[in-house]
Amino acid sequence: MKDKDIINVRKRQGEKEKYVRPLLKGLAHTMKKFWSKPKTIQYPDQKREVSQRWRGLHELTRNEEGELKCVACGLCASICPARCIDVTPYEEEGGIRYPKEFEIDESRCIFCGFCQEACPKEAIKLTRIYDFVNFSRDECRFDIEKLSDSKKHRFKQKKGKYEHLLG
C-alpha cells in the first residue's frame, strides 16, 4: 500500500475536500461518459452477436437427403444431467433406426452441451439461439418438428409490438 492510499481519520476534512472535489470529480466522469459511445443496445430491435462457443437452443441435424441423422441410440438421453431428453426409437426391417419421438424439455435443460458431445452421429447440436420465449412449460417441450427448425423460434418483433412466433 502506498502512503497516498492511507486516509488519516483523525485529520478533519475541510468543506472543499468533503464536497467540492468529489462533486467535480463526479461531473468530470459524467462528461467523459456523455460523449463516449454507449455500450447498451436497443434489444430486441438490435441483437448482440454471442460467442462462437455459446450454447443455446438445440437443433436436430439432417443429412444431404434431408433425413434426420439421429439413430435413436439414446446416448444423449443417458448422459443428460437434467434428464430432459426423451427418445423413443423405431427400427425398420432392414435394421435402419430412427427416432419415432424425440423431445427435449428446454425449460429443464442447463445447456451443458453433453448431448452434443456424446452423440456419435453429430445429430444434435446446440445453436447460438438464446432468445426464445414461451408462455407455458408445455411450449418448452421441443419435439422433432420444432427441433428441426430452431431459427423459427427466435423472439421477433412484429408491427411495433413484441411477439414471439411459437405455435
- Cα 81 off chain centre by: 18
Binding residues among 92-121 for ligand SF4 as defined by CB under 6 A: 104, 109-115, 118-119, 121
80 near ligand SF4 (CB under 6 A): yes
Query: Between β-strands 97-105 and 58-60, what pairing exists: parallel, antiparallel or unpaired?
Result: unpaired
Nearer to ligand SF4, 112 or 166 (CB): 112
What region, left, alpha or beta, does residue 113 occupy, with left being phi > 0 and alpha being psi -120 to 50 degrees? left
CB of 147 to ligand SF4, least distance (A): 10
Residue 93, all three cell numbers? 426391417
Of the candidate residues 57, 59, 71, 129, the single one contacting ligand SF4 (CB under 6 A): 71
Nearer to ligand SF4, 110 or 165 (CB): 110
H/E stretch holding 113 reads: none
Residue 27, all three cell numbers? 461531473
What residues make contact with ligand SF4 under the rule CB under 6 A?
A: 70-76, 80-82, 84-85, 87, 104, 109-115, 118-119, 121, 123-124
